[in-house]
Amino acid sequence: MEKGLFTFLVLTLMVPLGDYFGEDTILPSNFDWREQALTTNYTVTGKVSCNGEGVVGVEVSDGVEIAVTDSNGVYRLNSKKELGYVFVSIPSGYEVSLDGNSPLFFKYLDSKKDKSVEEADFELNKVDNEKHAVLAMADFHLAAQNDDIKQFRKVADDINSSISDLKRQGYKVYGISLGDESWDIYWYSNHFTIREAKEQMKIIKAPVFHNMGNHDGNPYKQGDRASSQKFIDACGPKYYSFNLGKVHYVVLDNTEYINENGREGHVGKINFRESIESQQMNWLKKDLALIDNSHTPIVIAMHSPIYKHPNLKNGKETCDYLLKNGGELEEVLRRFDNVQVLSGHLHKAHHLQQTAHIIDHNTPAICGTWWWTDKLAGNSVCQDGSPSGYGVYLWQGNQVKWYYKSAAHSRSYQFRSYDLNTTWIAPKSYAPKFIKDMTQYAHNYATRRNDNKVLINVWNYDPEWIVEVSENGKKLDVTQVQTYDPLHIISYDAIRVRRGGARLVDFPTVPTSHMFMVQANHPNTTLLIRVTDRFGNIYQEKMMRPKAFHTMMK
C-alpha cells in the first residue's frame, strides 16, 4: 500500500502542520493537543501509536473529512461530528484490537458537542499480513427464523475449518461481511436485531469487518440516516477503509434505506434503492486520492453488486447496472488497474468484467434461500442453484487468486451435473393438489424427456473458465445456456407449492447463465466432465448415467 507521505494533511482545508510548528518539529511530551486544537479550530484530535510510538502517514476520518498523521502520529480533524464517530484506516502491516472478532478501528464521538474538542487515540499492533486471505461472506439473514441459528452454526464450522486450513498455509485470515447480517422485518417480532446477529457472528474465528445491507436498517425508522443508527451503534461506521499487505480495502454502504411509513412500533415498507449517496462518494474520492500508485490493488466491499445478474444473448453474457450510480463509481476507480469488487445481495453467483480493470464478484448467500432449503430438503442452495457458501480471496503481494467454498462440501465441489433423462419434475407427483401452479414452477422439467442431454451448473464460472465433456474418449460440444436449476426447484419451489400453492413461493428459482448443455449419444454412457478455472485448477466428475435426481444429489 503506497500512500503519499505528508507531514500533516487535512484534505478539505489543505493545512500542513509546518504552517504551525515548522517542518519535522519534535514536540515536547507535555504538549497539550487539546489546547492546540482549540487555537487552530479543530474539534477532534488524537494519536495513532504502536508500542507507544507514533505512526506517521496514517489516514484518520470522520466519514466526511480526512487527516493523515504527522511524524509524531498525531492527527486533527475539523469535524462537525455529524456521523458520530472517527475511524482509523488501518495501515498495512498492522492490526487493531478486537471486540470478540470485530476490529476496533473506530471511536464514537458526541455529535451534540460539535464545537468542543474530543480526543480519540488509536493503538496499532504490528503484524505481517502481506500474505493474507479474505473470506467474503454475504447475506446471513439471521433472525431467529427457520432454524437459522442452528443452520448458521454448521456453516460457521465450515468457515472455521477453512480458516484453520488457510492459517496452516501461512495466511493471515480476515472475514468481510457483505451485508444483510440481520433481517429487518423480524427485528421486533423476534427480538433479533443487528446487535443479536453480530453476537452470533462472533463464532467465526477470524477478525470480521462488518458491512451494512438493505435488511440491516431499523424498520421503525424512515430514511437512511435515521434507520442506520442501530447498525452504527452495534457495528460502527457504515463505510470506511483499511489496508492489508499491499491491498487497499474500502467498505461501502450502497443501499439507501427509504422505508416509507416506518414509525415507532410500525414496520414500514422496507423499500430501498441501490445507490452510493453523495457524501459517501465524496469521501471515497478523498480516500483514494491518498494513493499515489495506480498499480495498488483496490478491493471494494459492498452489499449490492455494480451489475444485475447477467442474461445470455447470442451466446454472450450481457448485463445492466443495478447500482444507480455504478458508472460514477467506475469512473472514480478508473485510474487503478487492479480492482476487485465483492458483493452479495442477489443470493446468486456471477463474475462480470465490463471494464479492463474492474471485476464485479457477486457472492452467493451464506443463508442459501433465506435458510429455507436446508429446513425443507436437507441441503442449502441459492435461487440460481449455487450452494450456500463464501468466496475465498488469496493475496500474496499484489497478486490474487480466488475460489468459491461451498459450505459442507470440499473445495473441489465446483459444479453439479444433471442427467436430463432423469430430471423430471412431474407436477402430479410433486404437488398433486396444485398441478397448474407446479407446472408453472417446474418450467421445462415438467415433461419427461429422453433426448440424452446433460445440464451442468458451474456456479463460479467466468469467461476464463473452460468446460469440457467427453463420451467414450470423444469430446462433445458444450453450449452455454440460460435456464433454471432443477435442484433448487425440488428443494424449495415444489415443496412450497405442495404445501399451499404458488402463494407460498416467495423466493422462486431464477434463470442463470452459468449453465452448460451437452448432447450425449447414448443414455447410459459414462461422461467425463472436466472444468478448468481461470487459475488452472481442474475439477472433474465421472458422471455415471443414468444419474439419479434427488434433493441430496451432488
Residue 28 cell numbers, joined: 515536547
- Residue where the block lists cell 519534535: 26
Of 6-20, 137-151, 340-354, the least confident: 6-20
Residue 220: domain span = 130-406
- Residue 15 counted as domain residue: no
9 domain residue, yes or no: no
In order, the DSSP letters of 23-86 are: TT----TT--HHHHHHHTT-SEEEEEEETTEE-TT-EEE-SS-EEE--TTSEEEE----SSSEE
Contact 179, 72 (CB under 8 A): no
Per the domain annotation, does 551 fall within a domain?
no
Q: Are residues 120 and 135 in the same domain?
A: no
Residue 349 is assigned to a structural domain of this protein: yes
Q: Are residues 472 and 371 in the same domain?
A: no
Say whether both 464 and 531 belong to one domain: yes
Residues 371-421 pLDDT 10s: 999 999 999 999 999 999 999 999 999 999 999 999 999 999 999 999 999
> Is residue 178 over pLDDT 80?
yes
CB atoms within 10 A of CB 502: 16
Are 217 and 307 part of one and the same domain?
yes
Residue 13 included in any domain: no
Closest C-alpha to 157, from 389, 423, 455, 454? 389
Residue 491 lies in a domain: yes
Domain count, the chain: 3
pLDDT in tens, 271-318: 999 999 999 999 999 999 999 999 999 999 999 999 999 999 988 899
Same domain, residue pair 120 and 170: no
pTM reported for the whole predicted model? 0.92
Q: What is the CATH number of the domain that holds 199?
A: 3.60.21.10
For the cut 90, the answer to whether the pLDDT of residue 135 exceeds it is yes
The pLDDT value given to residue 113: 74
Adjacency order of strands within the sheet including 527-532: 474-476, 466-471, 527-532, 538-543
pLDDT digit string, tens, across residues 25-54: 444 445 444 444 444 679 999 999 999 999
In this structure, what are the phi and psi dihedrals at residue 287, rounded to the nearest 5 degrees?
-60, -50
pLDDT value of position 211: 98
Q: Are 10 and 77 in contact (CB under 8 A)?
A: yes
Residue 114 within a domain: yes
| CATH code of 67's domain | 2.60.40.10
Q: What is the DSSP letter of 3?
A: B
